[in-house]
Amino acid sequence: MHTITLIRTRLDPFTKTYVARKITEGKTSRDAQRCLKRVVCRQIFKILERSDRSRLGNVEEIAQAA
């Protein structure tokens, strides 16, 4: 997670603005990184959730076909 947030902070313009906004809200740069890690975790969880649902749907289709 740490490496992902460091790379995104360096390269992604949306992430740069997010971190800058958190710092202007009064958070330290470490706090802003923590917030960013939470956001990235939520994004990854949503991706995993969607892929799990699609796999579950395929299993149900196979079971119905049998």
> What is the total count of domains within the chain?
1
Going by pLDDT thresholds of 50, 70 and 90, the confidence category of residue 66 is: very low
φ/ψ of 26, rounded to 5, equals: 110, 5
Q: The tokens of 40 are what?
A: 């990235």
Going by pLDDT thresholds of 50, 70 and 90, the confidence category of residue 64 is: low
Rounded to whole angstroms, the Cα distance separating 3 from 65 reads 44
Q: Are 1 and 41 in contact (CB under 8 A)?
A: yes
Predicted model pTM: 0.74
Residue range(s) defining the domain that contains residue 44: 2-65
Q: Are 41 and 14 in contact (CB under 8 A)?
A: no
The pLDDT value recorded for residue 44 is 93
Q: What is the mean pLDDT of residues 12-38?
A: 96
Tell me how far the alpha carbon of residue 6 is from its chain's centroid.
Answer: 13
